[in-house]
Chain A
Amino acid sequence: MMRTKKSTRAAQYLALAAYLVFLAFPFLWLISTAFKPARELGSLHPTWIPKDPTLDNFRQAFDEQPLLRAAGNSLIAALSAALIAVVIATPMAYVMARHRNRVSKAATGWVVISQAFPFVLIIIPLFLILKNLHLINSLLGLIMVYVVWSLPFALWMLVGYVRAVPTELEEAAAVDGAGRVRTFVSVVAPLLAPGIVATAMFAFITAWNEFFFALVLLKTPEKQTLPVILNRFIGSEGVADLGPLAAAAFLATIPSLVIFAIIQKRITGGMLAGAVKA
């Protein structure tokens, strides 16, 4: 019995290790490519460690494209979208979780259906609306789009977390004389913190990686975000300037990694809470 358990655990660790290698491979290859000179990129027998490592790809990437400004724009758009999305979604999720009536059921249905809309279906009406609001070529317009785009899923995630909070706690707060808003802010919201962080992270990553809306809505280089700028290293028929593209893409992953590293405990806690109790 003991041996079976050990072998099972070994297999589990093996599977986990294999999965981690699978996940890490593209990122490690990206780093390796970013430091390779052009002639090594065309090698039939590529190596993990560049034989003749160079920073030329980074120099070229910075020289050709305004990466820092684009990263700043992406950061503003993604952080703003994430913050606004959770600020709006949290009370909405509370209402949908605690008041299960026709309206909240219909809202839930709409949230699910809205996820099925392809970008190209909504981009033209969206473009016209933003144009009328004078929000084309504006980060504010882009942030509004990102908020609307991430809100349904954020809402869906948070509803699960709210349902995991025992209603007895709210009843106790009510007995102590707290009103609905006070109960929500002082009792429910702190318990939702891991879920809110996980949801914000989802909204951040969605906005950070988004390409098509940014491509269509932002016209001038001063406003454009990182994915749009990265796309400039790719030419017609998918031909790419591989070295500088890898260098720029590597740099683009750093903010997400840093943010993940800082808040990973909260994310893990949040995900587990949602998974177990939703």
Chain B
Amino acid sequence: MRTTPRALAAAAAAFALLLTGCGDSGDDDGKITLQFQSLAWQKESVDANKALVKEWNATHPDVKVNYVQGSWDSVHDQLLTSFEGGEAPDIIHDASDDLADFAYGGYLADIGDLLPERLKSDIPQRSWETATFGGKVYGVPFLQEPRVLIANAKWLKKSGVRIPTPEKPWSWAEFRSVTKELGDGKDGKYGVAWPLKEPVSATLNLSLSTGGKMFHRGADGKVDVRFDAADAIMPRTVHDQVNIDKSASGATLGMGGSDTLPGFFGGKYAMVPLGFSYRQQIVQQAPKGFEWQVLPAPAGSEGLAQGVSPQTLSVSEDSPHKKEAAEFIDFFLQPDNMVKLARGDWMLPTGAEALKDPALRTEKDDWAAGTALATDLRPAPAQSVRGYPEWKDKVATPALQEYYSGAIGLGELRKRLVEDGNLVLARYQR
């Protein structure tokens, strides 16, 4: 292999030529151009997003929207870099639990006054709370999903247990006894499989049904962690199902939702608590003839209440066209469009008008069973708690994983969540 300076120079020149034209190209036609970064990823959802952008561009010649595809993985770091570099998209798709840092950091615009009354009144106040920080609105919550029990319908029917409905759900105690009846693991079959790879959000969100709050904000605005009797009901149920009744498989505690589906399809588990959107995977992957149904999660003193972190649309503080961006959001979230987006993502819309759409009330794929739960959805308890991510990663996740697997008891769990947890939160609230 002989390499000469001339050859190197030629190679460098060739690459310089090759790369010419790789640079950014500007849009100088005088129109307003908005960048819309969407995190839609499933085909139907991407198609719906693109179709709406196309429709907007066809009807709004002076304000062009560029669809930019983002991805859920690393979206926080990617947006943070874009914000810091002054290159953030004008319209940003994200999840409400990711907004607090950006809102407090001054990266997002307060769009409360830019949104029309139609949109404001269409989305319930409890949903607006997920994207409101310090009285300012930093995003429009538009899609959300409850956690539901997806059950093997034949198994349930054969067992003769009472089938819960949103009007008459199972209590947590009844849920425990039903799962015991459905399977205790002796023949490799379990009443339930809890996929708890990410145990914190599942625990906090489902504990709202029993009145569990865990985070308590004082008059001075500071938040402290408590673990009262109401907070313990849901975790104790799971712990007892796994470790005492053996009605829940211990093997699934470290799994994600998708990982439990083969076992569910294979008849190992009678039920799996999953997000509502998992129905799409079930429709695609379930063996022919497999019958499944959506059941409401167990209820407590607060009924079927549970926490959610809706998907949101925000406007960048640096955008020079906030008004136009808000107008696009208004168009994008018209009731008919919200229905299209919800169907594309297999989730529920936040808008009251969209929720009335017959397409979301159909029995097919159990849409109706999920839509019936919409009024019970509340902001996830930790939405606006500063220091929550660290509390979650360093304290709560390992503590709950150990508790659910039986390695520690309730006393030790409480000690860690509260004592260690408050030390973490205190650092953020000085």
Contacts and interface: CB of A to CB of B under 8 A. Distances in A.
B285 A44 contact: no
Given A44-B262, A87-B12, A136 B24 contact: yes
A176 B55 CA distance: 75
Nearest to B262: A44
Interface string B1-29: 11111001001100100110011100000
A131 interface: yes
Contact of A234 (B15, B72, B263): B72
Nearest to B67: A221
Nearest to B15: A80
A3 interface: no
A168 to B, nearest CB: 21
Interface residues of A, number: 58
Contacts of A178: none
B11 A87 contact: yes
Contacts of B254: none
B121 interface: no
B119 interface: no
B261 A223 contact: no
Contacts of B78: 215-216
Interface residues of B: mostly helix, strand, loop or mixed? Answer: mixed
Given A140-B19, A215-B71, A234-B72, A127 B85 contact: yes
Contacts of B277: 239
Contacts of B19: 76, 80, 139-140, 143
* Size class of the B contact interface (CB-based, 8 Å): 35 or more
Contacts of A55: none
Nearest to A123: B81
Interface residues of A: mostly helix, strand, loop or mixed? Answer: helix
A6 interface: no
B68 A38 contact: no
Contacts of A219: 35, 68, 87
Given A39-B288, A41-B285, A215 B261 contact: no
B65 to A, nearest CB: 14
30 contacts: A38-B285, A42-B285, A43-B262, A43-B266, A44-B263, A44-B267, A46-B262, A63-B43, A80-B15, A83-B11, A127-B82, A135-B23, A136-B24, A137-B24, A139-B22, A181-B5, A190-B3, A211-B74, A219-B35, A231-B71, A233-B41, A234-B71, A235-B72, A236-B95, A237-B256, A238-B258, A239-B256, A239-B258, A239-B277, A239-B281
Interface of A: 38-39, 41-46, 60, 63-64, 76, 80, 83-84, 87, 120, 123-124, 127-128, 131, 134-140, 143, 181, 185-186, 189-190, 193, 196, 211-212, 215-216, 219-221, 223, 228, 231-242
Closest 8 CB pairs of A and B: A44-B266, A42-B285, A193-B1, A139-B22, A127-B85, A38-B284, A231-B71, A44-B262
